[in-house]
Every structure is written in structure tokens, then in C-alpha cells.
Amino acid sequence: MENLILADTQITLTSMKESDISQEYLDSLNDPDLMKYSRNVSHVHTLTSQMEYISNFKDSFNLLFGIKEASTGKLLGSITCYVDFHTSTLDLGFLVFRNHQGFGYATRALGLLLPFLETEFTGMTVVIGSHKKNLAMHKVALNLGFRNETPTLPKHDSNLRFVKKLSKLSNLSQPELPHFISSARKIGVVAYDAGGAEQVAWVLKDIKKKVLAYIGGPAIKIFQNSGVTYEKSNNLNQLIDCDLVISGSGWMSSLENDVIRKCNYFQIPCITVLDHWVHYQERFVREPKANPKMFAVTNLPALQIANLAFPDQPIWLFPDRQVEFYKSRIENSFLKSDVLVLLEPSSILSSAFSITDELERTLIRSAVRIKEKRNLKTVTLRLHPSQVPTDVKYLNLQAEFPGLSISATADLVDNLKLAAVVLGFNTYGLYLSAMCGLETRSYFAGATNHWTYNFKNLITPLDYE
């Protein structure tokens, strides 16, 4: 990750470049007394070797910061951070040049770095390995809240291990896309279910680079209409060449879980984006089982639920670009003459909230009554991507309710622009509608264990009077 800058009044931490290499830097690396606790003490360091060393960080998730004097830009030392997503650990290493030791630069630099790491690598564990005789480093670690794990190490080991668990994000956290995602060299994405595909596609719009997409089912059409630049892959093994994979999660296929297991096997970082607010754990224990290492959500209720469901895994809060875009498209729309009904296939998530043909007709009858009471123009059905307009069921519904229309628009936002009222069952579209300030009603609104329970001020029950 390049071009990172962290600063206080005395020092700055900046991504090191080859141009930062100074004679003092090389002399420090080749000073056997200064480097006596380092594994690199026996190496001879040259301008060429250090240029290659710095260059290697550019093609990895690992970090190399130069510690610089704020007023002059003079290089005082460096910090390395080796990132292991598979074990959720961040291994730190420090070097402060001899002439600048004793001024607290290591403590100050770590105090700058930790808040950044807490956002960038939420919930992971920071590790400082130090020789038993390196008392100065022990003091730095302990003063900043690190815990000495020495009792768990073999007695003959000459090193100590200090650890600090980074806090997970909370309801006070601000949405942010981590730098390591936007700077990834080659990103693979995987999705099948519509909900997960939508979430992943909107994340990719922030990244703005071509990705390798292993997609199927409803996700294919969603990606085709998303504006995302991607190369479609039909070969799961191609994802092995990616240095980061972003996955959806769903119930309609095994595709997402297959990829998560593959990434775990090859230790490829894989972030699973959780759409909706229900059955997070159940998505991964069904066959084939998967064990996601990292997650992301796009709203605070989902973050709270995910933190409870996966207390030991890192969980990021991404910006909800879809809601931001929808709001911008809808706020200046004055042609609100429709009752919009958002349909979905029968749910397999919970029998309590499964959808039947009779429930669909009940929802549509309610929509027709609202249209008539409010003298609105039409009732429009928007089908789920897996549903087909020419299905005999929808032909029968149009015969049963004259004037009923089926939307042919690709984007939900175009339907919402015309909607005075939006009705539905479980679909994520109800959340989008409510967040855009539209009158939004769910058949199951407020029911215990239904996701709408988290949005009492946004979604109201249906009116059957």
C-alpha cells in the first residue's frame, strides 16, 4: 500500500520509497551492535538489496513505514507490519537509528500506527516479537497495552511475544473501505445469489478496477447491468492467481462456499460480504460447509448482528454506496404515482417467513386497496431476478387483478422513483426503499426474528382495512 501518511506534531509515518534510502539507513542496518537482536544481523545490506526489499512491499499487503521528523522530513527509522489474514495477525518490527534512540520515537510511532491498524485490520491481533534482552522494546510494548505471552512459549526460546487484540468496529464506527482492498493487485469476486451479487457489485464501484468474476445464477444479470468492469471466469481454479477475493453469501447455490473453502486451502485472503440481516451462521454450516475468515457489512444493524455471530473474525463496515446512489436518484423525483410490490421466491431461510402463492395474492390485494384509496395510478410488480414474467402464475395474477403491471426495468431505483408506497415480504429492496424515505411496508414488519425488527422507525406493517 503506497502513499499512506500518518502524522502528529513531531513525526510522520509515510510509506517508504526507494528514494528514502540514506547512508544513515544503510549504516544502521549494517551496525552489528544496533542490529544484535535482529534476525538480519548477519546480512550485508546494500543500496541494491534495500531497493529490492522496499519494492517487494508494493506487491503485497505488508506495510513498510518510514519514521520521519515532522519538521524536516529526516528519516529516523522504520516500522514493518507483516499481515497474515489466515491467522488474523499483524507482526510488527522496529528500527530507530542509533543517533535518534532514547527520544521515544518508537512509542510515538506505534501510538500513531495502532489507530490506523484498528480501522484497517479491525479485530486482528498485533504481535511484537522481541529478544528477551531487548528491554527497551519490552517497555514500549507494555506501555501501549500489549500483553506478554511468554508463558505460552518454550522455555528455551530466546524471544518474547507481546500481543494486543485490536478492537472490533462498533455502532460508533464510520463506514470505510480499507486501503488494502482498493490497493490490491488482482481481485477476484464470486457471487450467485442476487442479494450478495448486489452488495459485491456496489463495493467494486468504489475500487474502480477490472476484476475476475466467478459468478452464476441471478448474479450474472446483476453484474451485466452493474457497470462494473470484469472478466468472467468459469474456472474456479483461476481465482488462485488473485491476491484478494471478495465473496457474496447465499442459499441458492454452493458456489460461494466452494470458493471460500478454496481460498482457505490456498491461504488467499477472502472477504465475505453479508447481505440482509438473517441466518448469518447457517449460510456456512450447510453443505458444503465453509469457514469464512473475514466479513464485511454495509450498515450498523448488520455489523451488530455479525459481531455477535462471528466474535473472533474481523468484520469491516463498508460504505453503503447503493443507498447513497438511490437517495441521489430519488430525492428529486416528483412522479410518485405507483404502488410498488417487491416479490421474491419462496424463502428457505425460515418457515415462519416463507412466501406462498396465497401470501403473494394477499400482498397484492392490499396494494390494490391502497391504490384505490389514494387514487394512485397503478400497481407494479417487480419480480425477483430468478422469477420469469411469462410464468403462468403471473399471467393469472394479471387476470385476477386488472390493471396490474409487471416491471421491465433493469434497476430497482427506476421503480422506486415512481413509487408512492412500497410493499414486500423479506427482500432487501424494502430496506433500500425505507432508507430513501419512501413509505415502505413489509408483511412481516416488526415480527420477532424478522430483519425489519431492526428498523422499527423505517418500516411499518401492512394496513388491511
- Provide CATH 3.40.630.30 ranges for the chain: 5-165
Say what the pLDDT of residue 110 is. 94
Whether the CB-CB separation of 443 and 367 falls below 8 Å is answered with no
Can you name the CATH fold of 330-461?
Rossmann fold (3.40.50)
Q: What percent of the chain has pLDDT over 90?
A: 65
What residues in the chain have per-residue pLDDT under 70?
1-2, 151-157, 347-351, 463-465
Q: Is the peptide bond before 151 cis (omega within 30 degrees of 0)?
A: no
pTM exceeding 0.85? yes
Interatomic CA distance for residues 276 and 432, integer angstroms: 11
CATH superfamily, domain 182-319, is Glycogen Phosphorylase B; (3.40.50.2000)
Say what the pLDDT of residue 465 is. 45
Say what the pLDDT of residue 351 is. 66
Say what the pLDDT of residue 424 is. 96
- Provide CATH 3.40.50.2000 ranges for the chain: 182-319, 330-461
- Which CATH number among 3.40.50.300, 3.40.920.10, 3.40.630.30, 3.60.10.10 corresponds to the domain 5-165? 3.40.630.30
